[in-house]
Each structure stands twice: as C-alpha cells, then as structure tokens.
Structure 1
Amino acid sequence: MSMIHEGAEPRVQRPERTGTARSVLMCRPEHFTVVYRINPWMDPQSPTDTALAVRQWEQLRRVYTDLGFDVQLIDPIPGLPDMVYAANGGFVIDNIAYGASFTYAERQPEGPAYMDWFRAEGFEVAVPENINEGEGDFLLVGDTILAGTGFRSATASHAELARISGRDVVSLSLVDPNFYHLDTALSVLDSTPGREHIAYLPGAFDEPSLAVLRERYPDAILVNDEDASVLGLNSFSDGYNVVIASRATDFERQLREHGYNPIGVDLSELLLGGGGVKCCTLELRR
C-alpha cells in the first residue's frame, strides 16, 4: 500500500519520450555575413566571423548525424548570406514542397533556389501565390499546422497551405518584432498525433492567439524572456532529443523535467543574423 505524506507534492506522471530520426535540409554558411538589416537582431556595423559561423554550424550538423538524422545539403549561393537559415526555404509535407516567397528583396532569390533543389530531389513543388517564409512560420504539431503572421508570412498564405496540404492550419499572430517568425517564439517538442507538446513565449503573441495555445496545449512549457532572448525556442526536437541554444539554461531544466534530453549548441555567430537551431533546419517529410 502506497501512501502520500501530508504536504508532499504529488508526483506528475510524464509520458515516456521517444526519439525518431528525421530527414533535414541544411545550408553551409560559407557566405554568411550581416550586410543589411531586416530584423532587430541584425546590425551591419557589428563585425561577423564567417569562419566561426561555419564551425558552429558544423557542430550542429554533427549533432544531427550523431542522432542518426539524414542530413541533406543545398549549395550556398554567393550574395545570399541568409541562405543558411534553411527553415525559411519552404514547408515540406507528404512529399509536397510549398515554396517560400520572401518579404524582403534581399532574400527573395532564395525562394527559387530552394524550389529548384526540391524539384531535383523529387518533391512535388507548389509555387506560392502569397508571401510566406516556410517553416519559419509553419510548424507541424500532430495533424495541425500552426501558422505565424504579423511580421513576415501573409495571412493569406495560411489558407493557401491548408489547400495544398489538406491539413488544418491554425493562425497565430506575433506581436514582438524580436520574434518575427513563429519558430523563434514557439518550439514543437513532440509532433506525434495524440502526444502533441510544445513550448512557447507568451509575450510574443496577441491575446486571441494565447487563448488558442492555452486551450490546445494546456501542458505546454512556458519559456522565460531570458531564454527566448538567445533564441532558445528556436530549437529542433525528434520527440526525445531537443537541440537548443546552450545558453537557454532554464528551458533546458524544464525540458529535463518533462522527460526530454536537451542538447545544447552554440550558434552565437548565426544569432547575429537573427537565427538559431531551427532556422538552420528544414524538415523533409516524404
């Protein structure tokens, strides 16, 4: 007979976490630098170190290969310093690649480059009619796609993706310019249908969006401003292993408490362009 002593905290039963190897697309930051400003993180007056960015990116790629991921590479193109942020290159589901159409002129050539890669690799490419920045603003959680708007992707792209994918697309409005893409403010920890689990920064969303998140994901991890400010939420999970910014220490603690295995990496140089782990990672779902 088991007893709970008076005053003792009841033990919370956490689901057993299971990792599933992923297939991802990455782009080596051979041309990374900050020469323009299209988000609050970027400052062309601050020096950048391309060689350091490459070394840090290589560390991330090694983490993925050590986890058994299939890591595909797209060739970087001179003059496109943000191409390293592969997540923005499209959204791939059921072998369909919904292409990106970027807000700012500086990044617009990336859209066709990624679509060319998708075609060459046998994906069915859906050329976008509306402005969208791929997995930066589209995150699959179970059978639902959470879709961000407010700074980059147009709301009309949400309906377009719903038609293309045949999935339920739920719109969320971002209100803090520091978190201009959904994947900087929300992380998918478990995308398995029936086990959906996320983490997010409440202050990045408007009140109607928060109401949606609270209703759909009552057990979500809420991340503090300090961890969000190093793009701690810009992470990538296989359902058990969660690759995060090494400086997001409280988020790391919470992940362990929820049964995950957080793996910290340092992408501080790429943070100067406004990107982190997830920005460098586009999931390929055949």
Structure 2
Amino acid sequence: MDENPRRKTILMCPPDHFGVAYVINPWMEGQTARTDPSEARKQWLALKALIEPLAEVAVLAPQPALPDLVFTANAGFAIDRQVVVSRFRCPERRGEEPFFRAFFAARGFDVIDPPDDLHFEGAGDALHDAARDLIWVGHGFRSHEDIAPFLEARFSTRAVSLALADPRFYHLDTCLCPLPGGYLMYFPGAFDPASRARIEAIVPEGKRIRVEAADAEAFCCNAVALDGTVILNQASPALQERLREAGLTPLLTPLTQFIKAGGAAKCLTLEIQ
C-alpha cells in the first residue's frame, strides 16, 4: 500500500475581476453589477482555505473583462494528464478559452479540442465517478449531446449521457455530485424522466442521496468532494445528517456572491490530477 498517496491538485482563479456583467443563466437575472467584490474575495479565500489541507491548489491568473474565469470547473475535463478543453456555447465566455488552454499546455497536459461542431463546458458538464469508473455527462443547455461518445472514446471510459431539463440547473455540476464510497448526490427534478431512470439503474438505492428542491436551489450539489469531506455552500440539517450517515463530513462555507452568477464550490474549482 502506498503510504504517501499523491495529493490531488485543484485549479482555482482569484475573483479579482469577478462580477455579473451579463446574463447567460437564470441566476444572473437582476444581479448585474450587484456583487460585492470584498465579500466575494472573502468567500473565495475561505473556500481555498478549506481545500488546502486536502489538496494542492494551483492558481490561474485572473484577467480583466473575463468575470467568469473564476469558474475554473469550465476550463475542461481532465484525467491522467489528458484534458479536453472547453468550447463555450455563450459568446460572453469564449475569451476564457485561450487562458485555460495556455495553462494546461504550460503544465504539460495533452490538450484535446472537442469536435468543431460540438459545444462542451468542461467539468461543468462532465463528472468522473471514480467508484464506477464512468463519466456522467450532461447536455441540454450548454454542452452538446454528442460530447458523451466523444469523451468515452478519448478516455476509454464509459460515458453516461444525462439530459438536463430545468434551466436553473444548466450545468450537470449544479445538480449531481459523485461522492466517495460510491455515493451520488443529485436533484431528481433537474433531469428528464429517462435520465432519472438511467441514474437509478446505475446507482443502487442505498448509494443515492436525493436532495430536495430547497437544498438544490442553495447549490448543495455544486460541492467539492475530497477524501471524506464534502465542501458546499449550504445544506439542510437533514442533508447534513444523510451525508454523515454515508461516512462523509460536510463543511459549509457561504458562497452567496458567486451564486448570483450561477456557481458555487464546484464551479470555482477543477480537479486536474
């Protein structure tokens, strides 16, 4: 047994230029120019401080005029030094692409582009379930349905396609989170019936942690799971107890400034190794 397992590395980007400057999802409605830069930095630093004892943190330099660069989950999807980089559906975010690409290239990743005709928004819509060695892949709002077979072929790993049905949960990582021990936290209301059935066919009932709408709307599924710790913006007492019953430790840290733009803990991070 390896007594010194390699620590995971998480990519983050400071919120120096973060704010709601446009509207590309329902959470942004009415929030233009209403974020508090000081509070956003405080919340980001608190999240980083919770992650640092559990993983290495790599930092991407923030860039002017790219307020959503802070959401590094959308940089790409990486496994074993290979990364499929994002091709954003929304023009407002396409300026982020060269900075993410340069970061991965500088660190020696095999950088792979999605097919020219397919939008793909990285680990916002592609989540590796290590317990099952599969990739959950969301589509319907940002990423193209055909990205799942592309990822399956590139990574030689089964990809399970899930259709998102609620525009509030426009990325898969806002409504589904693979957890240690083979558990899966998800909000059933975010998926179409066929996708809910697909989840239930793959994940045994005892391993499924269904969340209620109020928890989902507080971005509980947009969580960072490291070892036995689950870091998230908020969770009801019932959900916290369910996580503890699964042998997991929930850590709550407010990320309300970032929710104004449609993201929380998971959106602000990307596991890159």
Q: What's the TM-score, normalizing by structure 1?
A: 0.88
CA distance in structure 2 between the partners assigned to 1:275 and 1:52 by the alignment = 15
For the pair 1:103 / 2:103, whether they are aligned, the reply is no
Q: 2:27 aligns with which of 37, 41, 45?
A: 41
- Aligned twin of 1:56: 43
With over 3 angstroms needed to count, the CA separation of the structure-2 counterparts of 1:166 and 1:225, relative to structure 1, is same
- Aligned twin of 1:240: 228
CA distance in structure 2 between the partners assigned to 1:33 and 1:238 by the alignment = 28
With over 3 angstroms needed to count, the CA separation of the structure-2 counterparts of 1:222 and 1:36, relative to structure 1, is same
Instruction: Give the C-alpha shift of residue 170 in structure 1.
Output: 0.6
- Aligned twin of 1:220: 208
Higher helix share: 2
CA contact (8 A) 2:19 2:33 kept: no
Q: 1:278 aligns with which of 266, 269, 272?
A: 266
Instruction: Give the C-alpha shift of residue 112 in structure 1.
Output: 1.9
Matches within 5 A, 1:46-85: 47-67=34-54, 69-85=55-71
Instruction: Give the C-alpha shift of residue 163 in structure 1.
Output: 1.9
Q: Deviations over 1:71-116 (max 9, x none)?
A: 0011111000001110011000010011000010000111221011
User: Is there any run of 5+ residues in structure 1 with no aligned partner, and where?
Assistant: 1-18
User: Is there any run of 5+ residues in structure 2 with no aligned partner, and where?
Assistant: none
Q: Deviations over 1:31-66 (max 9, x none)?
A: 011111000000344611112111100000010112
- Letter aligned with residue 223 of structure 1: V
Q: 1:124 aligns with which of 110, 113, 120?
A: 110
CA distance in structure 2 between the partners assigned to 1:233 and 1:38 by the alignment = 20
SS in 2 for 1:66: coil
CA distance in structure 1 between the partners assigned to 2:235 and 2:134 by the alignment = 30
CA contact (8 A) 1:158 1:171 kept: yes
CA contact (8 A) 1:234 1:279 kept: yes
CA contact (8 A) 1:25 1:73 kept: yes
CA distance in structure 2 between the partners assigned to 1:270 and 1:279 by the alignment = 9
CA contact (8 A) 1:20 1:239 kept: no
Q: 2:158 aligns with which of 155, 165, 168?
A: 168
SS in 2 for 1:237: strand
Q: What's the TM-score, normalizing by structure 2?
A: 0.92
CA distance in structure 2 between the partners assigned to 1:279 and 1:248 by the alignment = 20
CA contact (8 A) 2:44 2:255 kept: yes
Q: Deviations over 1:134-188 (max 9, x none)?
A: 0000000121000000111001222221221111111000100110100000011
Which structure has the greater CA radius of gyration?
1
- Letter aligned with residue 11 of structure 2: L
Instruction: Give the C-alpha shift of residue 249 in structure 1.
Output: 3.7
CA distance in structure 1 between the partners assigned to 2:176 and 2:44 by the alignment = 21
SS in 1 for 2:23: coil
CA contact (8 A) 1:87 1:281 kept: yes
List 4+ stretches of structure 1 deviating above 6 A.
none
**Alignment RMSD, CA only?**
1.5
Q: 1:134 aligns with which of 101, 109, 122?
A: 122
SS in 2 for 1:280: coil
CA distance in structure 2 between the partners assigned to 1:254 and 1:282 by the alignment = 25
CA contact (8 A) 1:147 1:169 kept: yes
CA distance in structure 2 between the partners assigned to 1:128 and 1:161 by the alignment = 9
Q: 2:195 aligns with which of 201, 209, 217?
A: 209
- Letter aligned with residue 278 of structure 1: K
SS in 2 for 1:109: helix
Instruction: Give the C-alpha shift of residue 247 in structure 1.
Output: 4.6
Residues matched between the structures, number:
262
- Aligned twin of 2:143: 153
CA distance in structure 1 between the partners assigned to 2:154 and 2:26 by the alignment = 32
- Letter aligned with residue 208 of structure 2: A
